[in-house]
Amino acid sequence: MKLIRTISLSLLIVTVAALPLLAAETGTFERTLKVTGQVSLDLRSGTGNVKVHAGPGDSVHVSATIRAGDSWFGMSAREKVTKLQSNPPVVQAGNLITIGKIEDSALRNDVSIDYDVTVPAQTQLTSRTGTGAQTISGLNLAMKVSSGTGEVAIDHAGAGVHVSTGTGNVHLTTIKGVVEASTGTGQIQATGVGGDLKIHTGTGTITVEDSSSGTIEASTGTGTVRLRGVKGALKIHTGSGEISVEGEPRANWELAAGNGGIGLKLPSAASFNLDARSQHGTVTVNRKTVEGSVARNRVQGKVGSGGPLVDAQTGSGHIQVD
């Protein structure tokens, strides 16, 4: 019996060794589409990186790199590349452009396509990837961007941005409109957002700098929230993680941490009403509270001439107001 097992194993090794290695092929294609006026772009990629940036106002240029592997029971890598090159997944209907929609499932298996797309600034974008990074720059109209796994970076957007990732960091720079951003696991960084900002991470740090006077709502299950240069209303929550805010409370601030400290740095001349409390920690306020009460774990009162309410609470952690 031992001899039979040895022979069977040897035959299996020889058989596997005799199989050809799965080949990999690469290829490219380019398309230039003429447009007039506002463009609507629908871009999708199962696997592959995406770049979209602003260019001339009368055309959409698509440059793509294909990477394909052999399938055990199907087309070869070379066949897949050839078919995609001869019939690229780029469709135009007037100013509506669709990129990456592949009907033949055989051409989606073991295939990744990187897209580099130049569009007019007046383009409304919907972009989604299963796996891959996305970089978008210089578009003036609203956009919706999503990724299963992959980093997203958006800069110099002239309107609202809605972005989500399952796993991956999000970087937002100089956004004029309203922003909604979420990630299951990953950091979110936003700088220079002109409208309201709503951010959520399951696990990951949130950093916001130099926002306008719009409302900021930020929440994370696990992670730190850091805000600098804020002026508008705040609604901040962490399940486990610290909250750090530098700015001026021109509207109400609501800050809550389940487990984590809260630190506030405000202008020396700022006036506001304060209610800061820690269930299992201490509260330190380096300001004169004109009216109110001061205890080890809670401070309530009017700072300066009073004003918007700064409400800060933590279950476990120290609160400090400077």
Spell out the alpha helix ranges (H) of the chain.
2-18, 77-86
253 strand-pairing partners: 234, 310
Is 317 exposed, middle or buried, given 0-12, 13-18 or 19+ CB atoms closer than 10 A? buried
Burial 271-290 (b: 16+ CB within 10 A, else e): ebbbebbbeebebebebebe
Residues 6 or more apart in contact with residue 27 via CB below 8 angstroms: 65, 66, 68, 81, 82, 84, 85
The total number of residues written for the chain in this structure? 322
d(CA 263, CA 312): 9
DSSP assignment string, 17-37: HHSPPPPEEEEEEEEEEE--S
Query: Left if phi > 0, otherwise alpha if psi is -120 to 50, otherwise beta: which for 239?
Result: alpha
pLDDT, tens digit (0-9, with 9 covering 90-100), for 68-106? 998 777 899 999 999 999 999 999 999 999 999 999 988
Smallest Cα–Cα separation from 155: which of 142, 133, 173, 143? 173
* pLDDT reported for residue 216: 97
* pLDDT reported for residue 290: 65
Residues 6 or more apart in contact with residue 31 via CB below 8 angstroms: 61, 62, 88, 90
**pLDDT beneath 70, residues of the chain:** 1-23, 290
How far is CA 177 from its chain centroid? 16
Smallest Cα–Cα separation from 40: which of 120, 157, 134? 120
How far, CA to CA in Å, does 320 sit from each of 166, 187, 234, 242, 276?
34, 25, 17, 12, 9
Q: Are 74 and 158 in contact (CB under 8 A)?
A: no
Number of other CB atoms surrounding residue 188 within 10 Å: 28
In the numeric block, the tokens 């960084």 are attached to: 189
In the numeric block, the tokens 């995609």 are attached to: 84
- If you count DSSP H runs as helices and E runs as strands, how many of each does the chain have, helices first? 2, 29
pTM exceeds 0.85: yes
d(CA 228, CA 230): 6
